[in-house]
Amino acid sequence: MLAIWTVLHSLLKPADLFLDAGCGTGEYLALAATVPRVSAYGVDLSRNYLRRAQDTEGEVVRADVSHLPFRDSAFGVVLCSEVIEHIEKPKDTATELFRTAERSVVVTTPNFGLMRFIMRLLSGRLIDQLDESVGHVSIQKVGTWSAMLAPNGWAIELQRTCHVVPPILSQMHIPTPFARPVDYLEKALNKLLPLMGNISILVFRNKKTNAQSLVLSTSISTLIDSRSARQGAK
């Protein structure tokens, strides 16, 4: 999503180390690698996703985001995008994100906002069934996530949402000519209701660090904490 990449691009500095926790097929790894001298790393449990992510310029390793096999403060920026809503104990995962981040943590997740509320009214159980089909176990409001996830020593630097018409519309056979008005509607809602969209974007900043990032790129093997690796996914 363009909004997420815009946020990441503003946070990444030349020579940063960047981690995508739950990297999927590696879209953000590829984008991060376009920032000068940024070294991008990704973890995921899906072997299929990791095979596809290997086609990017980032390095990938199979691991559980709730047991990241990296040393403390290993990365300047850590992203966890569209992952935490699938996890039964999101605070455990958040602990790992903040542990491995030196400067910034970015979390994106579905928000229980206006559009989700309206679509639930219009489609009955269809939204809930869609959530269940993709493994969503926790859809919260953006403010709930920010209060739940932020540990001591970290400040909320950005708390916003984006209004994105859900793919459920295609199942409702909305005519193609309505596509452009829907795009205008999304943009208008982003301005008028910035905290009621259906995608949350949260940026947390470590109060103990300044704006300087890690200055050296390195092999992923030197970032791995042997103690954490033993606890990771087999």
User: CATH code at 155?
Assistant: 3.40.50.150
> In this predicted model, which residue has the larger pLDDT, 168 or 29?
29
Q: How far apart are CA 215 and CA 14, in angstroms?
A: 8
CA distance 141 to 143: 5
Would residue 223 count as lying in a domain?
A: yes
Residue 205 CA, distance from chain mean position: 15
- Residue 64: C-alpha distances to residues 71, 107, 133, 229 (Å): 15, 16, 21, 10
pLDDT at residue 172, as a whole number: 53
pLDDT at 176: 61
Of 228, 217, 233, 214, the residue nearest 50 (C-alpha): 233
- The answer to whether residue 9 is domain-embedded is yes
Indicate yes or no: pTM above 0.75.
yes
* Residue 117 belongs to a domain: no
Judge whether 174 lies within some domain: no
Please, are residues 23 and 47 in contact by the beta-carbon 8 Å criterion? no
Residue 76 falls inside a structural domain: yes
* Higher-confidence position of 220 and 63: 63
Residue 172, domain member (yes or no):
no
Answer yes or no: is 88 within a domain.
yes
Q: Contact 149/90 with Cβ under 8 angstroms?
A: yes
Q: pLDDT tens, 42-80?
A: 999 999 999 999 998 899 999 999 999 999 999 999 999
pLDDT digits (tens, 9 = 90+) for 80-135: 999 999 999 999 999 999 999 999 999 999 999 887 888 788 887 888 888 888 89
Residue 125 lies in a domain: no
Helical ranges in 33-178 per DSSP H:
47-53, 90-100, 114-123, 126-133, 142-149, 168-171
Quote the number of domains for the chain. 1
Which structural domain range is residue 60 located in? Answer: 2-110+136-164+199-231
